[in-house]
Structure 1
Amino acid sequence: MSEISHRIVRSAGGLEMRIAEAGSGPLVLLLHGFPESWYSWRHQLTALADAGYHAVAPDQRGYGATGGPDEIDSYSILHLAGDALGLIPALGADRAVVVGHDWGAPVAWHTALLRPDLVRGVVGLSVPPLPRGKRRPTDSMRQLLGDAYYMLYFQQSGPAETELARDLPTTFRKLLAGRARLGGPGLPLVPEDGGFLDLFDAPTDLPEWLTEQDIAFYSTEFGAHGFARPLNWYRNLDRNWELTAAWHDARIEPPALLIAGERDLVVANPAAMEALAEVHRHVPRFQDVLWLPETGHWTQQERPKEVNEALIQFIQGL
């Protein structure tokens, strides 16, 4: 089995990013979500390397040893996609397959939208490609989902990062393995006078795919670097909408795949399913949705074997 190594690489945009990497060959970029790090791809790095690829998982802007500025407006989708695209020449490659999970998925979709010449193929895990809407995202959320929707709770600087950092092992046990308490029509709504973590029951036992060592790793990472910068990604939702006006109704041209868990509330909901029904309109080379049974939101960690096989098959078919 290939070994994972780490180093600091300066992206073409100037940000010095910690990367985890394994193998050699065509480049595959693996972009993590919230609140994670390169570590969420630990199973894919070695599998892709053994299959003949140079697999690279960075700590993205604001995370882990990469860090980043404190200013909220430095975390727009143009910054995030620029960081990922800037790694391609920095790693000596002409093009890459870009894979993203959770928040990493919108970054991956935008790399393919903005620079299709650099992206051989794109894979999203959990989050489908969503076209730019006609209204500011937070306005739409308030109208459709109410003020208690968790992404709106994340908009205010201070409360969310303080809550998440209070007891790190409990935070990650709840987020990664807890059962969600949904309000309204199956929505993650922050209770009045409560916080985001009140949406989850703490598990009595960890699932097979998650260990105490995994919890300890995430706790150490976020204990050192905090949650404020990662939460700034959410605080740019409206700014992203403004900045991407030039790409309204633009198409994502590279070949594309979505991998999702059947129990993942992010994608297994009416709004996401409606978007998927129209996906070929704005992603003409969209190949398929691979639905993973008995799988929740933490796709590549919960089902590494199936995800590895799907990624390798997709890349070999390009």
Structure 2
Amino acid sequence: MNHNFQQQKVMLNGLSFNLVCAGEEKAPLVILLHGFPECWLTWKDQIQPLVDAGYRVIAPDQRGYNLTDKPKSLDDYRIDVLATDVEAIREYAGCDTFHLVGHDWGAAVAWWYGIHYSNKLRSLTVINVPHPITFTKTLKTSMRQLLKSWYMFFFQLPKLPEALMTLRNFKQLQKGLIHSANTGTFDNELLSQLLTAWKQPGAITGMLNWYRAAFRRPIRASNLSVTCPTRILWGEKDIALSKEMAQLSTQYCEDVELTYYPDGTHWLTHDHPKRVATEIIRFCDAH
């Protein structure tokens, strides 16, 4: 870990969260939300550039992941509950407004936070996950996307996903990352660090419970527009999410920019670490 990063264990929403923090306390705040199956390491190459650009960064291990607590009830993984974790981090940081960036499930939480807490956001950046309405509609109308999302349905099964994912030292989980990424994106060092996170007690079930809660504890809302400045970054080689959903997501945003990465995969922060850092900084600087 970079010597400028600090890990803090903080009680938020009744759970112990592991927060990776960097930067000056009085600097503008950027919260970085990782997704499945990573942890704060999603942002290992973006934290220091953000700090060097004058920002304060908090990158949590989200609930169910790595060194953060892993509640057992599916109700504790509903998207509205996950968004309250972000609000709790903002309150802990003592900032009225901040910049929010999310990837994968972190982007899904970021969308939800942007919808319901837009007045708290100076900017919203989402990476390779569509607006929730876009995803729901596309899943219902596109057989291609339905087939791409097969794993979400598999994750609904009890115990079997955990058994297969942990088999032979998490071999299938490692293969899934390597085969869905550009060559060399997940090197041995990063995989070793992720392996340590996956081996935390209850971590695999905690990670899967995000998917299970999404299917079994769906949340309805009438107004799902995002009013804060929004930036969508999208790797076109994502094998799980169709790139058409990026453009479709823009209709739910009042102020939006969309940037495609033709040679980027789902793992954009690792594929193009410097460019992604530059894009995030530029957008934050503008707002």
Q: TM-score, normalised by structure 2?
A: 0.89
What is the aligned counterpart of 1:279 among 238, 249, 253? Answer: 249
Matches within 5 A, 1:1-318: 3-11=4-12, 13-24=13-24, 25-131=27-133, 145=146, 149-168=150-169, 170-178=171-179, 207-225=183-201, 226-241=203-218, 243=219, 245=220, 247-267=221-241, 269=242, 272-273=243-244, 275-287=245-257, 289-318=258-287
Shift of 1:297: 1.2
- Find the residue that maps to 2:10 and give its secondary structure: strand
Identity value in percent: 29
Shift of 1:169: 5.1
Measured in 2, the distance between the counterparts of 1:121 and 1:207 equals: 32
Q: 1:208 to 1:139 in 2, by over 3 A?
A: closer
- Higher mean alpha-carbon deviation, 33-42 vs 143-152, is at 143-152
Measured in 1, the distance between the counterparts of 2:250 and 2:35 equals: 25
Deviation string, structure 1 residues 249-298 (Cα, Å, up to 9, x no partner): 4311110011111211244x2xx51x4444343211112x2222322111
Matched AA of 1:263: K
Q: 1:163 to 1:117 in 2, by over 3 A?
A: same
- Higher mean alpha-carbon deviation, 139-148 vs 88-97, is at 139-148
Measured in 1, the distance between the counterparts of 2:44 and 2:148 equals: 36
- Higher mean alpha-carbon deviation, 68-77 vs 146-155, is at 146-155
Aligned residues: 283
Matched AA of 2:122: R
Shift of 1:146: 6.5
Measured in 2, the distance between the counterparts of 1:166 and 1:134 equals: 32
Matched AA of 1:294: D
Measured in 1, the distance between the counterparts of 2:76 and 2:233 equals: 29
Q: 1:139 to 1:41 in 2, by over 3 A?
A: same
Deviation string, structure 1 residues 176-211 (Cα, Å, up to 9, x no partner): 21259xxxxxxxxxxxxxxxxxxxxxxxxx933432
Measured in 1, the distance between the counterparts of 2:149 and 2:113 equals: 31
Deviation string, structure 1 residues 141-168 (Cα, Å, up to 9, x no partner): 9998369921111111211111111123
Q: 1:44 to 1:146 in 2, by over 3 A?
A: closer
Confirm or deny: 8 A CA contact 1:2 1:46 kept in the other structure: no
Confirm or deny: 8 A CA contact 1:41 1:57 kept in the other structure: yes
- Higher mean alpha-carbon deviation, 139-148 vs 108-117, is at 139-148
Matched AA of 1:156: L
Gapped regions of structure 2 (runs ≥ 5): none
Runs of 4 or more above 6 Å deviation: 132-135, 137-144
Q: 1:314 to 1:2 in 2, by over 3 A?
A: farther
Confirm or deny: 8 A CA contact 1:48 1:308 kept in the other structure: yes
Shift of 1:215: 1.1
Gapped regions of structure 1 (runs ≥ 5): 181-205
Confirm or deny: 8 A CA contact 1:169 1:215 kept in the other structure: no
Q: TM-score, normalised by structure 1?
A: 0.81
Measured in 1, the distance between the counterparts of 2:159 and 2:42 equals: 26
Q: 1:147 to 1:255 in 2, by over 3 A?
A: closer
Shift of 1:85: 1.5
Confirm or deny: 8 A CA contact 2:74 2:217 kept in the other structure: no
Confirm or deny: 8 A CA contact 2:6 2:22 kept in the other structure: yes
Q: 1:158 to 1:169 in 2, by over 3 A?
A: closer
- Find the residue that maps to 1:93 and give its secondary structure: coil
Measured in 2, the distance between the counterparts of 1:279 and 1:35 equals: 24
- Find the residue that maps to 2:8 and give its secondary structure: strand
- Find the residue that maps to 2:112 and give its secondary structure: helix
Deviation string, structure 1 residues 61-91 (Cα, Å, up to 9, x no partner): 1011112211122110011111112100111
Confirm or deny: 8 A CA contact 1:21 1:57 kept in the other structure: yes
Shift of 1:239: 4.5
Measured in 1, the distance between the counterparts of 2:40 and 2:77 equals: 18
